Chains A and B, each alone.
Chain A
Amino acid sequence: MTLTPVLTAHWDEADSYSIAGYMRHGGYSAFKKAFTSTPDDIINLVKDSGLRGRGGAGFPTGLKWSFVPQNDGKPHYLVINADESEPGACKDIPLMMANPHSLIEGIIISAYAMRANHAFIYIRGEVPQAFRRVNNAIREAYTAGYLGKNIMGSGFDLEVVLHAGAGAYICGEETALLDSLEGRRGQPRLKPPFPAVSGLYASPSCVNNVETIANIPSIVNNGVDWFRSFGTEKSPGFKLFAVSGHVNRPGIYEAPLGITMRELLEHAGGVRNGHSVKFWLPGGSSVPMLTPDLLDTPLTYEDIAAAGSMLGTGTPMIFDETTSVVRAVTGWLSFYKHESCGKCTPCREGTYWISDLLHRFEEGHGTESDLDKLVELCGQIAGRSFCALGDAAATPFPAALKYFRDEFVQATHTPANETYDPTAATVFAGVTR
């Protein structure tokens, strides 16, 4: 399957992040077109396009918008989830650095559709250059008259505020993000009520991922048929695939959904020379790992699910045979323990315990009975935690054990770093720089 640069098409132009660079290729024409339609028409257009949320859950975007009650007299809020923090996910930050105006134009159209006069971009705090680029784009859009009061004489008002987070993975969870944006601890909220009914400031709100919203201008400009010419019936459109790990050319590859991992891997120059795939994760550490025999699985929501994993953020990580799976899983569990918000018992205590047990394996003194215990403990978190972070934390170990039980048994007596030389797994192994 071919690569299809849309959002990335002009990233090789030095001013791709500026309004001039964006407009050189037709930027800011979509919102003017959108303004000639009714908000409901835009919602229907996005519904018909089949666009699914690019933040990881894959929920149909148009449907999500349609949950926002209209003509209720309350202020509506559009909130952009730019808190990209999932291990493996690295596509929103590059997008905001190289092409922030696609996001801003998407915001204008989306806010218009859901009748929101206020939009917030919640960007993680650890990316100052992305912050600068988005901040600059907002300023340029205001100067051009594309934001503010009565945009282009349409009667539509829109204020956009860029808001920096402060270091908390959980704020990628949309209700935790809303609490954080309200100046609170980023702990998830009870649902119902759902944000569409009672979100930011208890008003109807929609939280959408950066890439999702950046897709909107192209859908408005080119239409549903064009968008659906990419991908599959259930997974239409194109996607920013960020390929990382032990590959020769890691980076951002924009391609239709449905491209296989093998094809993508080939574009990325294959696994580094002399090595082979040991395991791969289709979309972040929160989805179950897969083995090389599944490399031909199309990268769609439905096909990856059928293969026993999830598309997630669509940012595949490839690990070759130098990698200790014990070390990788232990590292991810340390991450979930670090990022657990503490609100619910299973996630707070479960990650503490599982992380502790896995460290023993990494150091070479786990026990075989601990393996059964770990499976049970993961089962005690999955489906019982308050939000999906707990489910995510319960994911890496059972998948790893399914494919690499022997390696965990090995780790009952031998430290991971003895079984797998950590130096061999580094990108600078054997390289003098």
Chain B
Amino acid sequence: MSLTQQTRDKAREIISRYPQARSALLPMLHLVQAEEGFVSADGIALCAEELALTTAEVAAVATFYTMYHRKPAGEYHIGVCINPGCGILGGDAIWAKVTDRLGIGHDEVTEDGKISLERIECQAACTHAPVMTANWEFLDNMTPESAIDVIDKLIDGQAVQSTRGPKIPTFKENELLLAGFDDGLVDFGGQADAFMLAGLNRAKELGQSAPEGTK
């Protein structure tokens, strides 16, 4: 068990952000995943104790949200978007290739615990389809080949740069971020990529702009 007094202190810090303690539950479950790699029974008990809930009340919440894992996620949790916007544009082909390469399927982890896989739903990046994620960092505009390349690098221990974010942190590191503990990686990945700038670039190309304000 990796839950310590420090975990509890962090949990209390989360609680202190909210007018009502129970609001801290979702970030606290992210914190539990940052420590344990999944929502463990100990983690549920910790949340229940700190928030004066029953463990059933915590489990009811933990099992509702798909980002909370029942068993340890891989060090790199890979998502392949199979929602039609991505799936049709190549996500399904990428999924087939990735599962074939890793020999694992949805919600499974490689034997060495390095990679876990998930068929994910829309990531709000349809303009960048087909989209993958590694520990939820964007890997945009992928192909089966680039997907395999990323996974091979991750297995090999090489750093992989998110297309719109930092070098992929570990699953636990990013869960700590989502619990509200900043990691100083805000400046990585560029302010906007070509897809985000498509309209602005087009407007500039055509010399179009919004009218100036009158007041």
A→B interface (CB under 8 Å): 2-6, 8-9, 11-17, 21, 75, 84-90, 92-94, 97-98, 118, 124-129, 131-133, 135-136, 139, 161-169, 180-186, 201, 218, 221-223, 225-226, 229-230, 238, 241-246, 249-255, 267-268, 285, 315, 317, 319, 323-324, 327-328, 331-332, 335, 338-339, 341, 422-423, 425-428, 431, 433
Contacts and interface: CB of A to CB of B under 8 A. Distances in A.
Interface string B71-109: 000000001001111011110110000000000000000
B211 A250 contact: no
B60 A185 contact: yes
Contacts of A245: 85, 89, 126, 129
Contacts of B135: 128
Q: Determine the main DSSP class of B at the interface with A.
A: loop
B22 A16 contact: no
A301 B194 CA distance: 29
Given A94-B192, A226-B211, A427-B89, 20 more contacts: A4-B210, A11-B196, A93-B125, A94-B196, A98-B192, A126-B136, A129-B137, A129-B138, A131-B177, A165-B26, A168-B64, A182-B20, A185-B61, A222-B215, A238-B210, A245-B89, A252-B127, A422-B93, A423-B93, A428-B90
B42 interface: no
Contact of A8 (B17, B165, B200, B206): B200
A399 B196 CA distance: 30
Contacts of B61: 183-185
B182 A426 contact: no
6 contacts: A12-B204, A85-B122, A90-B124, A126-B120, A127-B138, A133-B186
B152 to A, nearest CB: 16
Nearest to B58: A183
A166 B29 contact: yes
B49 interface: no
Given A126-B136, A127-B124, A129-B165, A98 B85 contact: no
Interface residues of B, number: 91
B154 interface: no
B89 A125 contact: no
Given A242-B126, A253-B202, A426 B191 contact: no
Q: Which are the 10 A-B pairs with shortest beta-carbon distances?
A: A251-B198, A222-B213, A183-B25, A253-B199, A166-B65, A167-B66, A167-B67, A129-B165, A244-B126, A183-B22
B145 interface: yes
B124 A85 contact: yes
A252 B165 CA distance: 18
A331 B86 CA distance: 10
Contact of A12 (B51, B137, B144, B200): B200
Contacts of A128: 135-137, 165, 169, 174, 177-178
A433 B145 contact: yes
Given A181-B23, A183-B24, A331-B87, A13 B203 contact: no
A419 to B, nearest CB: 14
B143 A433 contact: yes
A164 B192 CA distance: 22
B30 A90 contact: no
Contact of B88 (A8, A118, A319): A319
Interface in B141-181: 141, 143-146, 162, 164-166, 169, 174, 177-180
Contacts of A85: 121-122, 124
A164 B29 CA distance: 11
Contacts of B202: 3, 249, 253, 267
A183 B50 CA distance: 13
B101 to A, nearest CB: 17
Contacts of B209: 4-5, 9
A88 B200 contact: no
B194 to A, nearest CB: 7
User: Which of B88, B123, B164 counts the most chain A CB atoms within 10 A?
Assistant: B88
A251 B194 contact: yes
Given A5-B199, A168-B65, A125 B137 contact: no
B38 interface: no
A99 B214 CA distance: 23
B185 interface: yes
B122 A14 contact: no
Given A5-B199, A129-B162, A162 B26 contact: no
B27 A335 contact: no
A182 B25 CA distance: 8
B171 to A, nearest CB: 11
A93 B127 CA distance: 12
Nearest to A96: B124
Contact of A11 (B19, B60, B191): B191
A425 B88 contact: yes
Contacts of A339: 121
A169 B121 contact: yes
B198 to A, nearest CB: 3
Nearest to A161: B17
B143 to A, nearest CB: 5
Interface in B109-134: 120-130, 133
Contacts of A169: 121-122
A223 B211 CA distance: 12
A12 to B, nearest CB: 6
B124 to A, nearest CB: 4
User: Which of B61, B186, B210 counts the most chain A CB atoms within 10 A?
Assistant: B210
Given A126-B67, A427-B141, A164 B180 contact: yes
A109 B92 CA distance: 44
Contacts of A162: 180
Nearest to B17: A161
B67 to A, nearest CB: 4
B60 to A, nearest CB: 6
Contact of B89 (A6, A253, A425): A425
